[in-house]
Structure 1
Amino acid sequence: MDNEPKHPSKVVAKWPKDNKVKVLERPSQSPDLNPIEHLWAEMKKRGLARRPTNLTRLHHLCQEEWDKIHPTYCGKLVEGYLKRLTQVKQFKGNATKY
Structure 2
Amino acid sequence: MRFPFIPTHNWFTKKQLEVLAWLANSPDLNVIENLWAIVKRKIRDRKPTTLDQLKQNIATAWEAVSAETCDKLVKSMPRRLQAAKGAATKY
> Is the radius of gyration larger for structure 1 or structure 2?
1
Q: Is the 8 A contact 1:31 1:88 kept in 2?
A: no
Q: Is the 8 A contact 1:47 1:61 kept in 2?
A: yes
Greater relative contact order, per chain length (Cα 8 Å cut-off, separation 6+): 1
CA deviations on 1:6-30 (whole Å, 9 max, x unpaired) are xxxxxxxxxxxxxxxxxxxx9xxx6
TM-score (norm 2): 0.64
Structure 1: unaligned runs, 5 residues or longer: 1-25
Q: How many equivalent pairs are there?
A: 67
Match of 1:32 in 2: 28
Match of 1:4 in 2: none
Instruction: Give the Cα separation in 1 of the matches to 2:42 and 2:80.
Output: 23
Identity value in percent: 40
* Moved segments of 4+, more than 4 Å: none
Q: Which amino acid aligns with 2:37?
A: A
2:87 paired with 1:97: no
TM-score (norm 1): 0.60
Structure 2: unaligned runs, 5 residues or longer: 1-22
Match of 2:75 in 1: 79
Instruction: Give the Cα separation in 1 of the matches to 2:46 and 2:29.
Output: 27
Offset, 1:59: 0.7
